[in-house]
Amino acid sequence: MKWLMRIVVVALVAFLVWQVWQRVFVTDETRVRRLLSTMVSAVEKGDVFRLSDAMAADYSDDWGTDKSTVIGGVHAFRAQYDAIFIHLSDLTVTVEPNHQKAQAVFIAKIIAKAKGSLTDSEVRADRFRLYFRKDDAGWKLIRAESPELKFD
Amino acid sequence: MKRRAKSLLWLLLVGACLFLVVRFVVMPNVVVGDSMSPTLKSWDLCLMQRVYHYQPQRGDIVTFRTADDPPLYFVKRVIALPGETASIEHGVFYIDGKPLSEPYTTINPDWQMERTLVPEGKVFVVGDNRDFEREVYVHGLVATRLVQARLLGHWRWKR
């Protein structure tokens, strides 16, 4: 019984320390980076629930799609492939001074292995700019843009 | 002690030489994607020669970047040079109206493109892989100032 009490107390203290750490030391930039990482992992695994959780209800993008269309599109895209790997590079996260909005600019490379294929991989690379908003539940994706590539 | 210092000095010298060569002369590059297949496949290791004022040559396989910040990097083949026109009819490239022989790839008869003039200071690039729809891959006019390196050789990993 005494050991059980000790374990509970240690777990409680660890939880409190973790919470204080998160609130005091984890910056908004880190939270946005984590959200991006969660979204990437959700797309790779086809976990539409986690992806949905990361997006605001009023999400919009350059292609005129809304949240449910994106979720459906990701589900359909993921179903075409055995495996998908998304590599983000050149990531820059900018948080506005009021800490309510943030932007992330990065390059995403998608490497996908088609169903039944052992070696072939398809790759798309694009530059993205994502906009985030902080609400009661944390940071949410509100808009995605993919500026055209410049070759001039 | 003296010997160890000498070895360290040699090591530093070799490291510095390697750094300078990789920074200014040649650079290793790993291909990601199959747009240059069958010439270059995904994960092939390429040795690229850095170019500072690119003098376009047809058939060159080049690395170029986009003018964006941050930039994207691509590897493609130079097909048409400044002042020439390029067009595609049933998968065959025509340069100034003459068919281009491309033994390094296959012909995709679905590929069509109107005649395009390549202005001065630009080249027309395209990937060797013609298995997909033309719109899927990045191709077209690229400013020569964005060309960073030319392929010297490549090595394929066993897969």
Q: What is the 3 state secondary structure string of chain A?
A: CHHHHHHHHHHHHHHHHHHHHHHHHCCHHHHHHHHHHHHHHHHHHCCHHHHHHHEEEEEEECCCCCHHHHHHHHHHHHHCEEEEEEEEEEEEEEECCCCCEEEEEEEEEEEEEECCCCCCCEEEEEEEEEEEEEECCEEEEEEEECCCCCCC
Asked if the model's pLDDT at residue A35 lies above 60, the reply is: yes
Is B128 part of a structural domain of the chain? yes
Band (pLDDT 50/70/90 cuts) for residue B124 is: very high
Residues of chain B contacting residue A123, judged by C-beta atoms under 8 Å apart? 32-35, 42
Which range marks the domain in which residue B102 is found? Answer: 26-155
Contact yes or no for B35 and A123 at CB 8 A: yes
How confident is the model over B18-42, as a mean pLDDT?
A: 85
Give residue A56's identity as a one-letter amino acid code: A
| pLDDT-based confidence at residue A41 (cuts at 50, 70, 90) | very high
Catalytic machinery residues of B: 35, 76
CATH code of the domain covering residue B123:
2.10.109.10
pLDDT of A25 higher than 90: no
Judge whether B85 lies within some domain.
yes
Residue B4 forms part of a structural domain: no
In this predicted model, what pLDDT tens digit does every residue of A51-74 receive, in sequence order?
999 999 999 998 889 999 999 998
Q: In the predicted model, is pLDDT for residue B159 greater than 60?
A: no
Taking the C-alpha atoms of residue A120 and residue A21, their distance in angstroms, rounded to an integer, is 44
Tally of structural domains, chain B: 1
Instruction: Provide the ipTM.
Output: 0.72
Which amino acid makes up residue A55? M
Judged by average pLDDT, the poorest of A7-16, A41-50, A103-112 is A103-112
**E strand or H helix that includes residue B8:** helix B2-24
Fold of the CATH domain A28-145: Nuclear Transport Factor 2; Chain: A, (3.10.450)
Nearest CA in chain A to B68: A150
Nearest chain B residue (CA) to A120: B34
